Amino acid sequence: MAALNDWQNRLEETALGPVRRTGRRFWAVVAILLAIIGWGLYAYSVQLRDGLVVTGMRDRISWGLYIATFVFFIGISHAGTLISAILRVSNARWRTPVTRMAEFVTVVALICGASFVVIDLGRPDRVLNVFIYGRWQSPIIWDVLAITTYLTASVTYLFVPMIPDLALFRDRLAGRSSRWRGSLYRTLAIGWHGRPAQWRSLTSAIGVLMILIIPIAVSVHTVVSWIFAMTMRVPWDSALFGAFFVAGAIFSGIAILIIVMAILRRTYHLEEYVTEKHFVYLGYLMAAFAAIMIYANISELLVHGYKLQEGVEFHFRQLFLAEFAPLFWFYLLGGLCAPIVIALVPATRNVRGIVAAAILVTLAMWIERYFIVVTGLRVPLMPYEPASYAPTWVEWSLLAAGLAAFALLITLFTKLFPIIAVWEVAEDHEASAVQAGTGIPARAIPATADSPRLAEEAGR
Amino acid sequence: MKSITRRSVTTVTRLLAPWAILVAFAGSAIASHVDVSVATVGEVTVGETVAIPVALHTMDGSPLAGTVVTFYLHMSFAGVEGEAEIGRAVTDEDGVASLAYRPRLAGHHELRMEYLAAGRSDIESTTTVIEVTGGAQLYHSPAGVDVPGVGVELLMVVLATVWSILFWVVLRIVAIARAGGEVREAALGARR
């Protein structure tokens, strides 16, 4: 029992560590990220002042870097859904140390992704026109509804399982942190004291949310794909697009989660909880989705190539042989085939290997999103010369700012909220101990997350 | 001298002008190897289907049968100009290839007919013009297939269900907060 208490204390200290200690390196990272965001804001001000003419987008290629990045961000938002919801539904206990990170990646990626749509508008003051003049028959409206619902559900799904951990922070940091921080934890903990009635409400809410969020997440990326597939463009003319986008989303989501895990593990010394096992298991999942993506690509390209409708020949030539060939082959070989090899070969099946594979997948999936948008629009609809598109410094700056905002929000999150789901990890540890025959009573660990302050008050 | 010259030019012009007008209106052209003539279509209204017959004959007057004639329409869209193929027809035993054309826009339609006569290696072509009047909108979306129960109402039901479930989750959160409030009150009561 003493060993378990030591373990529990160590876990809580690890979770509280980032909140208690903030070094110069943290502020340096924040300063760099803020500088990039500041540069992006300047670029955006130039775009607002001069209009979209400062971008590389024109009448024929009217979507570019912004929409590709929007699709990419919405894709990686599936990290939380897969790791947290699907693995929770399937009762995969190994997931517990990484669920919180995955859920936060989801929320941050959705916020960043949605902002790129507004950036792409050129006239952000007209964003409300979508609601005022929108038509129910339009995929744009479906997209807005799906993303809004998914963001609401994701924030709820991030918050609800965090309540016991917020109560832990409230109690452990009481009187030892700033007033605003104490007030924040008191408010967000919503009076959690680990009462049976509270556990019942929490468990039922998590149970419903984890099932609800899976179809919502699937619907979001399906609807994003329909924005392309329901447009009269030969390369986008595919009924497979929805499934293709969802598979790609989960694939890139796992990759980003692995990278975030690796950075946080190293920064906050989480090696005891986020182990090589987690990287290898996620590497297997990533390899499985790489195989699904290969299958989807073959199916898509073979069917299109076999029929070779007018325009497809041009599309295939630009992808496989001409302008985009080097990056497209990198996507196929480096982004889809290499992760499978890395996950299967024992010599590379370790933290470094899986992280390297995740970086390859992330780059490849961003390139894939870019190709879907730009090469699809490049195929001429009329007998004219194909248009060309090259992002300008404004677009690259806003892309960098978007990525910096993503990194900054995650960095700030680690300084405010528990990055490990303490009560879930403890529960998992407890279950393992029970299985090992130590006979520790059920629900012993979450009860320690109750308020020591109130226990003290009750004792009086 | 000058008046004689002027009178001669006027006489020649008067003699040739009707022929020039006739040739222009008939749209005929004397190709290098083939005698081609396009019948005047006249004025057409938008949506009306008209036949554009092209007659091909050899220089000695015998019809050229079995020759493929490709019809192109000169188009201008968003500042870009080009030709779009609108159809093909094969000449019959009288040497006539006819294309049924249904103009969808009013205005001045310039058509070019291209053909390769048997035994020749050079593609030859001729042109004609059709004046299209009227303002009927021909581009209509099809009404679609109305499947009972599948429509905006279904989307509303799905959305309402999802948001109702989310609202239920919010009620659970409220229940947690209320239970926490009861604990706090009990603790405060015990302290008093």
The domains of chain A, with CATH numbers, are: 60-190+198-380 (1.20.1630.10)
pLDDT at A452: 40
- The 3-class secondary structure across A26-68, one letter per residue, is HHHHHHHHHHHHHHHHHHHHHHHHHCHHHCCCCCCCCCCHHHH
Given an 8 Å threshold on Cβ–Cβ distance, is B169 in contact with A209?
Answer: yes
Q: Is B119 helix (H, G, I), strand (E, B) or coil?
A: coil
Do B14 and B46 share a domain, yes or no? yes
pLDDT at B157: 92
Residues of B in contact with A208 (CB under 8 A): 165, 168-169, 172
Residue B95 CB neighbour total at 10 angstroms = 22
Residue A204 has pLDDT above 70, yes or no: yes
- Confidence category of residue A438, pLDDT binned at 50, 70, 90: low
* 8 Å CB contact between A355 and A262: yes
Interface membership of B83 toward A (CB under 8 Å): yes
Interface of B with A in 19-38 (CB under 8 A): none
Do B15 and B106 share a domain, yes or no? yes
Do B9 and B104 share a domain, yes or no? yes
pLDDT at B2: 59
pLDDT at A437: 64
pLDDT at A444: 39
Q: Where in the sequence is the domain holding B162, given as residue range(s)?
A: 141-192
Task: Give the ipTM of the model, two decimals please.
Answer: 0.79
Do B153 and B100 share a domain, yes or no? no
pLDDT at B39: 78
Residue of A154, A382, A423 to mutate, testing the B interface (most B Cβ within 10 Å of its Cβ): A382
Q: pLDDT by residue (tens digit) across B49-75?
A: 888 899 988 888 888 888 899 999 988
pLDDT at A38: 97
Do B120 and B162 share a domain, yes or no? no
C-alpha span between A378 and A396 (Å, rounded): 20
Q: What is the mean predicted confidence (pLDDT) over A281-303?
A: 94
Of B80, B169, B177, the CB nearest to A190: B177
Do B14 and B81 share a domain, yes or no? yes
Q: What is the mean predicted confidence (pLDDT) over A360-387?
A: 91
Do B8 and B76 share a domain, yes or no? yes
Interface membership of A197 toward B (CB under 8 Å): yes
pLDDT at A27: 94
Do B146 and B124 share a domain, yes or no? no
pLDDT at B18: 64
Given an 8 Å threshold on Cβ–Cβ distance, is B184 in contact with A454?
Answer: yes
- Confidence category of residue B109, pLDDT binned at 50, 70, 90: confident
Lowest mean pLDDT segment, chosen from A429-433, B43-47, B111-115 = A429-433
Residue A122 has pLDDT above 90, yes or no: no
Residue that wins the pLDDT comparison between A268 and A7 = A268
Residue A145 has pLDDT above 60, yes or no: yes
Interface membership of B143 toward A (CB under 8 Å): no
Do B124 and B180 share a domain, yes or no? no
**pLDDT exceeding 90 applies to what percent of chain A?**
59
pLDDT at A440: 46
User: Max Cα separation, chain A?
Assistant: 86
Q: What is the mean predicted confidence (pLDDT) over A92-100?
A: 84
Q: pLDDT by residue (tens digit) across A392-435?
A: 999 999 999 999 999 999 999 999 998 888 888 888 777 777 77
Handedness of CA A85, A91, A96, A98 (dihedral sign): negative
pLDDT at A325: 95
Q: Which of B82, B111, B133 is the last residue of a domain?
A: B133
* 8 Å CB contact between A345 and A339: no
Do B94 and B161 share a domain, yes or no? no
Q: What is the mean predicted confidence (pLDDT) over A17-36?
A: 91
Interface membership of A162 toward B (CB under 8 Å): no
Interface membership of B1 toward A (CB under 8 Å): no
Given an 8 Å threshold on Cβ–Cβ distance, is A193 in contact with B183?
Answer: yes
pLDDT at B21: 59
Q: What is the mean predicted confidence (pLDDT) over A246-254?
A: 93
**What pTM value is reported for the model?**
0.74
Do B63 and B145 share a domain, yes or no? no
* 8 Å CB contact between B41 and B50: yes
Q: What is the CATH number of the domain that holds B26?
A: 2.60.40.10
Of B82, B152, B179, the CB nearest to A195: B179
Q: What is the mean predicted confidence (pLDDT) over A258-272?
A: 91
Q: How far is CA B84 from CA A198, A227, A296, A383, B87, in A?
A: 71, 29, 35, 7, 9
Q: What is the mean predicted confidence (pLDDT) over B147-173?
A: 90
Domain count, chain B: 2
Q: Which of B133, B153, B171 is the last residue of a domain?
A: B133
- Confidence category of residue A30, pLDDT binned at 50, 70, 90: very high
Interface membership of B4 toward A (CB under 8 Å): no
**pLDDT exceeding 70 applies to what percent of chain A?**
94
Lowest mean pLDDT segment, chosen from A72-81, A301-310, A447-456, B174-183 = A447-456
Interface membership of B77 toward A (CB under 8 Å): yes
pLDDT at A1: 62
pLDDT at B79: 64
pLDDT at B30: 44
Q: Which of B86, B113, B133 is the last residue of a domain?
A: B133
Residue A420 CB neighbour total at 10 angstroms = 25
Do B85 and B21 share a domain, yes or no? yes
